[in-house]
Structure 1
Amino acid sequence: MYEPPALASEPGAGLWNPATIALRAGERYRFGVASLSAGSAQGVDGQLLSVAARRSSGATFGLSVARAAIGGLVRTDTDPQAIGEVPYATWLVSVTGARELVPHLTVGTALRWRYGRLDQASGDALAADFGAVLHDLPWRNARVAVSSFLWRPGREIDDRPALLSAVDLRVVGHETEREMRAGFSYDNVNRGAEESGPFVSGRRDRVEARFGYLRSHVGGEPVNRLRSGLALHYTRFVVAIAREEGVSGLGPIYQFTLSSVLK
């Protein structure tokens, strides 16, 4: 939640956009973890582990494992009395590769295996995703990113893959460590949810802050919510915490990330 999905580089997993896993020249390895939780009757939680390595050819390869689950879904029969819980969980394993093809253009691809369980039903599937980021452009250090998520060619109607996109630019400052950026993100699930909204970010030395206002459409009903985050850059570590406002009576969602780069 800390960054727009198409541009998300923390904690370095390339989860939403494979191109964002690319390490810069001089960086050899990157390790990252993330944890998500929501305080509500239905306990939503998620975890992510990732590792990436840059080869001498300039290509970066990575592996990530993500898990998400919802607890507290009670089973009922002929009356509201609970007689147990309904298990609901999913796993996603991604093998990713990315590199800068030409100056200012980085592309990536990911092969994904996912497994899901809902009550007594379970299944798995393979997916392939592609992403690209135009970065460090001459005008305002602009960036443009686009990627697919959970795309299975020929199975788009059944699986409903997502198309993720975002653009941002520098509005104040002249370097990454001291700047303010503004942008807009748009994400769309095939015949499903649609999410869009503006976001801003600012960094001064070791401290970085982000804020976004999102509007989602699900079943024709719009839902507005806020996302905010704060990160600390210290030597080779980045620690971040993000918060999304709860909607429809649900509590807020929190996400913690930690990443480290080895040179």
Structure 2
Amino acid sequence: MRPMLIGGIAVFFSARGLVAQPVPARDLWEFPLGAVLEPAALATQPGAGLWNPAVSALRPGERIRLGVASLSTGAQQGVDGQLLSASYRRASGTTLGLSVARSSVAGLVRTDSDPQSIGDISYASVLVSATAARTLVPHVTAGVAIRWREGRADREVNSAVAADLGVVLHDLPWQNARIALSSFLWRPGREVEDRPAFVAAIDARVVGDSASRELRLGVSQNNVNRGATERGPFLSGRLDRLEARAAIVRASAGATSVMRIRSGLAVYYARYVVGVAREEGISGLGPVYQFTLSSILKE
């Protein structure tokens, strides 16, 4: 997906007079900002509900959760992303959240009749999300999100509003299983133009007896309308303060298919969780690195 994205950006600038995106830079939201360490549909670190609003729900006894995430490909022409989030659980049990995410491509230069640069080309997108989530019945948590997205490609700037629905079935009787489903950047009636995504994941506890001492195995899938499809197994294990995760992801777009490995560690200390994750680079592109930090304030 990484080579296809860089190539797609070049095609955009060479042919944008023929075909224009309703909102530019939609491709940037195919990068797993905040979801390298965990599958997108279950990503709770930094707990923004960016990919699935249902996971932003705080548990009883938790009052506020704050989080930040940073993603970078580390290449000369690479993608950088940042995420800030905050969630607040009301006395009624509903969790309200707000997040601001930004993703951009660096190193795109403008040229004229010769290869010499005459300036930089801006290719970036900002996504602001307001979420609400709560447990509807035992083991079922649902969430909704209203999103405002602005995209910029050179001198073209546009924005749009999207709405998403998500659900998580959690703490199920069979092996403490979880099932998560959500839409992402869904604009009803504009699916062909704006390419919404569908994210899903399921996992279960295979070893252990508590959330702080367990080994879990699962599978995730992300589908972008008229875009890339990602699927693959993932494994996570936690022992007290330390958690390790790994995933094998196969991304397909048209006749092209590539496989990547994601791995990372998370450390739990007092009310803080610090995570570092890496996705292997492909086709000459640098690896993706992600840092996350979240904090929960209890009653």
- Report the TM-score when normalising by structure 1: 0.98
C-alpha separation between the residues in 2 aligned to 1:58 and 1:70? 39
Q: 2:212 aligns to what?
A: 177
Are 2:136 and 1:101 equivalent residues in the alignment?
yes
**Which of 276, 292, 298 is equivalent to 1:241?**
276
C-alpha separation between the residues in 1 aligned to 2:85 and 2:221? 25
Matching residue's letter, 1:33: V
CA drift of 1:219 comes to 2.8
Q: Report the aligned-residue RMSD.
A: 0.8
3-state SS of paired residue (1:58):
coil
CA drift of 1:43 comes to 3.3
What percent identity do the matched residue pairs reach?
Answer: 65
Are 2:169 and 1:159 equivalent residues in the alignment?
no
Are 2:154 and 1:119 equivalent residues in the alignment?
yes
Give unmatched runs, 5+ long, in structure 2.
1-35
162-171 vs 33-42, greater mean Cα deviation: 33-42
C-alpha separation between the residues in 2 aligned to 1:225 and 1:94? 29
**Which of 149, 172, 192 is equivalent to 2:184?**
149
**Which of 24, 47, 51 is equivalent to 2:82?**
47
CA drift of 1:82 comes to 2.4
Task: Provide, for residues 6-30 of structure 1, a one-character-per-residue CA deviation record: whole Å limited to 9, x for no partner.
Answer: 0101101000000000000000000
CA drift of 1:39 comes to 1.3
78-87 vs 88-97, greater mean Cα deviation: 78-87
CA drift of 1:248 comes to 1.1
Task: Provide, for residues 53-89 of structure 1, a one-character-per-residue CA deviation record: whole Å limited to 9, x for no partner.
Answer: 0011111000000011111012223333322221111
C-alpha separation between the residues in 2 aligned to 1:220 and 1:159? 22
Q: Give 1 or 2: higher helix fraction.
A: 2
CA drift of 1:237 comes to 0.4
Q: Give 1 or 2: higher strand fraction.
A: 1
Matching residue's letter, 2:124: A
C-alpha separation between the residues in 2 aligned to 1:246 and 1:196? 17
Are 2:128 and 1:80 equivalent residues in the alignment?
no
Task: Provide, for residues 112-148 of structure 1, a one-character-per-residue CA deviation record: whole Å limited to 9, x for no partner.
Answer: 0011100010100000000000000000000000000
1:194-233 equivalence runs, <5 A: 194-233=229-268
Matching residue's letter, 1:138: P
Matching residue's letter, 2:244: A
C-alpha separation between the residues in 1 aligned to 2:254 and 2:116? 30
- Report the TM-score when normalising by structure 2: 0.87
Matched pairs, number: 263
